[in-house]
């Protein structure tokens, strides 16, 4: 059970810090309480009941001290039945509120802990009463609850007193005014008297800062060493002659933006170096990353090397292939471009692999099929990985290690803007370039929220756009409407408010002003709005035979085989389909300049980054474009935040920061999928400044540890680094 929580050693348990603290140094008596204050109370259970109401069950406990009493109420509290018994001593912490029925007080959804009775050993009570008490997340079941953890951790710390090895140099701790490791762990678990509660709850005490810095320092130290090691490897020094520049000018479809010129300059400068390039190319939706990457690939090909581009989906790989072939047709050179995906039949795969192996394929575009063991490049010079976080960094590592010759250069492109804190940890071994300018001619996308009941107006608007020669997407979260059907993405999970034990209750969607987009509003309810999630297959049929009858309505989803997907997308790109009903399979990279409307049904169920990516499928041509976010009757508070942010801004970097704050680093990418380190104490949102400090100190330590760092200290740093990277950060291997 402990191993499932990542706790396999005594050290793991010591770094399992309290998630909150309760001030039980001076608990308040009931007759001292004041309405509106946050207070800690220790009292006896005098009664309890589960009250069943129309809205939700309420669990009510009556606490008493002498003649005074106080009620504690937990909404949706059925799970508490059986926990309380008359005569128990309970510590509660919450906001004091007046009772409507008596002169006493009450607390709504307070935090609580059932305390040991007087018959239990004095040590247990000493750890729980009369002090600032640590409260831990349960490790599974009552046996591993907070009380057990307090006792075990207390004994561990006592047993290690004076013998806990330090892993950071003394000179570094003194310079940064940080406590040693033993003191930090002791004070983080059992804060001394006088510690400020606000600092504890924010993990901002010197003890917490020390442990957070330690974790981030060893992450950044490993990344710094990896960067230096990569610079020592033998790479390819590409020449950028007049011939190369002419090859690029031949195929450029437009005058590049200043940002494209700057980022290409950074990439080419890396490619000239004798060590392998490892660079991250970030840009918002539609910023022109692909054309920058193609120019870099031309540099490699003009130097006699092969280039490879790996995309996350077959649709996107095919689109890259078609776009590259169209651009390179303008060239006077005879470049050979091949496409390698998993859906090709074995004969075509074999023939394509042979071309790659013999060096006759100059530009290779594909999916994960590129990293199969059977694929061997003759002279691979540059690898471009599109939407890299969808693959996992281990696959990136395998691809770049293919050739027997010098290491190829690697350019990682991501259309999902990455907040700086995540970039430092997830892509810390890469140099970064940012495309922060859109190509000329792009018009802002009009984004509006529309309640489900106004669906008729949405379909009228779509029809009018099609009549003007435009095309539209309509996106649904699921393929079919059966109960067992799984969405093609992870639904946005709205977290409960801090301190609560239940999800935030949903509330009615606010009906935003949409009159400028839809002059005539129909108030009639849409019957399908209350029937659960609408599906792509169901709505394709309803739209085709109903409000969009007479238009050419296509269907695209993940269950179609690759050939059918490609045929559908080609037809849409050629204008043979007016409205494409789809799941999120079209989320990334699909480029149809004539598409001017994106309708997203159940928009409240999508994550912020995903909504922004979907919106980026329109606005690629000169025509004014629209993104319509259709919502049901009940929208959670976090969904409200996401939708309001979408309406407010089109800045992908701003939305990425907000998305990170709302979801946290683990869900922003998905730790295992992305290679995000599994931090024990650090939090990339809260600890931005500490991360920057850790990066600076890591670079300083690698460059020159200093004469005041002993050989024994250097050895301990090396041992700790090895342990951290082998065991805890194994997923972030990249180069």
Give the CATH superfamily of 242-435.
P-loop containing nucleotide triphosphate hydrolases (3.40.50.300)
Question: Which residues 6+ apart lie within 8 Å of 498 measured at CB?
Answer: none
Mean per-residue pLDDT, 368-392: 75
Task: Give the pLDDT band (50/70/90) at residue 499.
Answer: very low
As a whole number of angstroms, the distance between CA 636 and CA 468 comes to 37
**Nearest-angstrom CA–CA distance, 520 and 153:** 66
C-beta atoms surrounding 271 within 10 Å: 24
SS3 56: coil
**What separation in angstroms does the CA of 138 have from each of 126, 214, 222, 681?**
21, 25, 32, 16
In this predicted structure, the answer to whether residue 24 has a pLDDT above a threshold of 70 is yes
User: What is the token pair recorded at 25?
Assistant: 């140094």
Burial of residue 641, with CB atoms counted within 10 A of its CB: 0-12 exposed, 13-18 middle, 19 or more buried: middle
**The domain 445-499+507-649 belongs to what CATH superfamily?**
P-loop containing nucleotide triphosphate hydrolases (3.40.50.300)
Query: What is the pLDDT confidence band of residue 448, given thresholds at 50, 70 and 90?
Result: very high
Residues 425, 413: Cα–Cα separation, whole Å: 16
284-317 burial, b at 16+ Cβ within 10 Å, e below that, comes to: bbbbbbbbbbbbbbbbbbbbebbbbbbbbbbbbb
Cα distance between residue 244 and residue 227, in whole Å:
28
Under 8 Å between Cβ of 280 and 424: no
Report the DSSP beta bridge partners of residue 472.
579, 597
| DSSP E strands, 567-645 | 579-582, 595-600, 625-631, 634-635
Residue 474 pLDDT greater than 90, yes or no: yes
Q: What is the pLDDT of residues 656-699, one digit of tens each?
A: 888 888 876 655 555 444 445 678 899 888 898 999 999 999 99
190 neighbors 154 (Cβ within 8 angstroms): yes
Quote the CA–CA distance of 674 and 670 in Å, as a whole number.
Answer: 6
Give mean pLDDT, residues 379-399: 64
Encode 68-96 in three state secondary structure.
Answer: EEEEEEEECHHHHCCCCCCCCEEEEEEEC
Residue among 171, 168, 181, 174 nearest 208 (CA) = 181
Is there a contact between 5 and 139 (Cβ–Cβ < 8 Å)? yes
For residue 408, pLDDT beyond 80:
yes
DSSP string for 233-280: S--------HHHHHHHHHH--SPPPHHHHHHHHHHHHHHHSSSPPEEE
Give the DSSP letter string of 143-189. Answer: GGSHHHHHHHHHHHHHHTTTTPPP-S-HHHHHHHT---HHHHHHHHH
Q: Do domains 26-130 and 242-435 have the same CATH topology?
A: no
* Tens-digit pLDDT profile for residues 208-246: 999 999 999 999 998 888 888 888 888 899 999 999 999
Cα–Cα dist 164/157, whole Å: 9
Q: What is the mean pLDDT of the chain?
A: 83
Higher pLDDT: 481 or 196? It is 196
Domain boundaries, the chain: 26-130, 242-435, 445-499+507-649
pLDDT of residue 528: 37
Q: Give per-residue pLDDT as tens, 390-402.
A: 444 444 444 544 5
pLDDT in tens, 307-330: 999 888 787 888 889 889 988 888
Average pLDDT over residues 243-265: 88
Residues 6+ apart with CB under 8 A from 117: 88, 89
Q: Which strand (E) or helix (H) includes residue 111?
A: strand 111-115
Least confident window among 202-211, 248-257, 598-607:
248-257
Q: Which of 145-149, 236-240, 646-650 has the lowest mean pLDDT?
A: 145-149
Token duo for residue 446: 């009009």
Tell me if 477 sits within 8 A of 533, measured CB to CB: yes
- Tokens 């994550």 found at: 607
For residue 708, the 8-state DSSP code is: T
In three-state form (DSSP H/G/I as H, E/B as E, the rest C), the secondary structure along 464-484 is HHHHCCCEEEEECCECCCCCC
Q: What angle do CA 233, 237, 243 make, to 5 degrees?
A: 165
Residue reference for tokens 């490609």: 566
Which residues lie closer than 8 Å to 302 by C-beta, 6 or more apart? 241, 243, 244, 247, 333
Nearest to 220 by CA among 565, 701, 735, 541: 701
Helix, strand, coil in percent for the chain, rounding step 5: 40, 20, 40
* pLDDT, tens digit, 9 for 90 and up, residues 78-93: 888 888 999 998 888 8
Residue-level pLDDT at 256: 86
Check whether domain 26-130 has CATH 2.40.50.140, yes or no: yes
Q: How far is the C-alpha of 483 from the C-alpha of 377, rounded, in Å?
A: 46
Q: What DSSP line would sit under 401-467, residue for residue?
A: T--SSSPPEEEEEESS---HHHHHHHSTTSEEEEE--PPTTPPPEEEEEEEGGGHHHHHHHHHHHHH
b/e per residue 438-471 (b: at least 16 CB within 10 A): bbeeeeebbbbbbbbbbbbbbbbbbbebbeeebb
Beta-carbon count within 10 A of 505 CB: 15
Count the neighbouring beta carbons within 10 Å of the beta carbon of residue 180: 14
Q: Is 224 exposed, middle or buried (0-12, 13-18, 19+ CB in 10 A)?
A: buried
Strands 38-51 and 89-95: antiparallel
| Number of Cβ atoms within 10 Å of the Cβ of 54 | 4
What pLDDT score was predicted for residue 71? 94
Q: Which of 475, 436, 403 is nearest to 261 (CA)?
A: 436
């Amino acid at each position: 059970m402990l191993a499932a929580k990542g706790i396999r050693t005594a050290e793991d348990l010591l770094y399992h810090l309290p998630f909150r603290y309760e001030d039980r140094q001076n608990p308040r008596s009931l007759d001292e309480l004041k309405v509106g204050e946050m207070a800690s109370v220790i009292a006896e259970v005098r009664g309890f009941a589960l009250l069943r109401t129309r809205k939700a069950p309420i669990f009510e406990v009556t606490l008493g001290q002498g003649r005074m009493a106080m009620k504690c109420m937990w909404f949706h509290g059925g799970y508490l039945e059986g926990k309380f018994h008359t005569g128990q001593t309970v510590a509660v912490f919450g906001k004091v509120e007046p009772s409507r029925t008596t002169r006493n007080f009450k607390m709504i959804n307070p935090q609580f802990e059932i305390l040991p009775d007087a018959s239990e050993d004095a040590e247990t009570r000493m750890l729980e009463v009369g002090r600032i008490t640590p409260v831990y997340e349960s490790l599974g079941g009552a046996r591993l609850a907070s009380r057990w953890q307090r006792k075990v951790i207390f004994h561990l710390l006592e047993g290690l007193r004076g013998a806990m090895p330090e892993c950071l140099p003394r000179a570094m701790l003194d310079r940064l005014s940080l406590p040693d490791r033993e003191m930090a762990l002791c004070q983080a678990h059992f804060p001394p008297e006088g510690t400020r509660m606000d600092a504890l709850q924010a993990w901002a005490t010197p003890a917490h800062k020390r442990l957070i810095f330690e974790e981030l320092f060893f992450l950044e130290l490993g990344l710094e060493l990896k960067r230096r090691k990569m610079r020592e490897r033998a790479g390819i020094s590409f020449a950028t002659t007049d011939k190369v520049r002419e090859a690029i000018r031949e195929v450029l479809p437009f005058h590049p933006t200043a940002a494209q010129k700057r980022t290409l300059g950074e990439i080419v400068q890396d490619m000239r170096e004798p060590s392998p390039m490892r660079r991250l190319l970030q840009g918002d939706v539609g910023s022109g990353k692909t054309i920058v990457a193609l120019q870099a690939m031309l540099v490699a090909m003009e130097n006699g090397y092969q280039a490879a581009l790996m995309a996350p989906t077959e649709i996107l790989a095919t689109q890259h292939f078609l776009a590259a072939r169209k651009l390179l047709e303008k060239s006077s050179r005879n470049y050979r471009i091949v496409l390698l995906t998993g859906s090709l039949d074995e004969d075509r795969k074999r023939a394509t692999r042979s071309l790659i192996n013999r060096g006759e394929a100059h530009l290779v575009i594909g999916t994960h099929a590129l990293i199969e063991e059977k694929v061997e490049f003759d002279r691979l010079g540059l690898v471009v990985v599109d939407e890299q976080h969808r693959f996992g960094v281990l696959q990136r590592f395998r691809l770049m290690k293919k050739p027997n010759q010098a290491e190829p250069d690697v350019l990682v492109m991501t259309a999902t803007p990455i907040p700086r804190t995540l970039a430092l940890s997830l892509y810390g071994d890469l140099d970064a370039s940012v495309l922060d300018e859109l190509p000329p001619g792009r018009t802002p996308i009009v984004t509006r929220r529309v309640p489900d009941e106004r669906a008729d107006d949405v379909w009228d608007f779509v029809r009018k756009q099609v009549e003007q020669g435009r095309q539209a997407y309509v996106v649904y979260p699921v393929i079919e409407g059966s109960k067992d059907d799984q969405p093609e993405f992870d639904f946005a999970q709205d977290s409960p408010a801090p301190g609560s034990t239940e999800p935030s209750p949903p509330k009615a969607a606010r009906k935003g002003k949409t009159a400028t987009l839809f002059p005539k509003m129909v108030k009639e309810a849409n019957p399908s709005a209350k029937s659960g999630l609408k599906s792509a297959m169901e709505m394709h049929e309803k739209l085709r035979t109903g409000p969009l009858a007479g238009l050419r309505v296509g269907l695209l989803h993940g269950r179609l085989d690759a050939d059918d997907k490609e045929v559908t997308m080609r037809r849409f790109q050629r204008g043979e389909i007016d409205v494409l009903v789809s799941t999120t399979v079209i989320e990334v990279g699909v480029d149809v300049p004539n598409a001017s409307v994106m309708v997203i049904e159940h928009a409240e169920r999508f994550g912020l980054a995903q909504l922004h990516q979907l919106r980026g499928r329109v606005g690629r041509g000169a025509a004014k474009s629209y993104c319509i976010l259709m919502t049901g009757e009940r929208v959670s508070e976090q969904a409200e935040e996401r939708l309001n942010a979408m309406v407010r801004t089109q800045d992908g970097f701003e939305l990425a920061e907000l998305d990170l704050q709302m979801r946290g680093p683990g869900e922003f990418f998905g730790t295992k999928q992305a290679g995000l380190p599994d931090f024990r104490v650090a939090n990339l949102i809260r600890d931005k400044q500490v991360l920057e400090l850790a990066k600076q100190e890591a670079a300083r330590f690698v460059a020159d540890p200093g004469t005041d760092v002993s050989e024994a200290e250097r050895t301990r740093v090396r041992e700790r680094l090895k342990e951290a990277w082998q065991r805890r950060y194994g997923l972030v291997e990249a180069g």
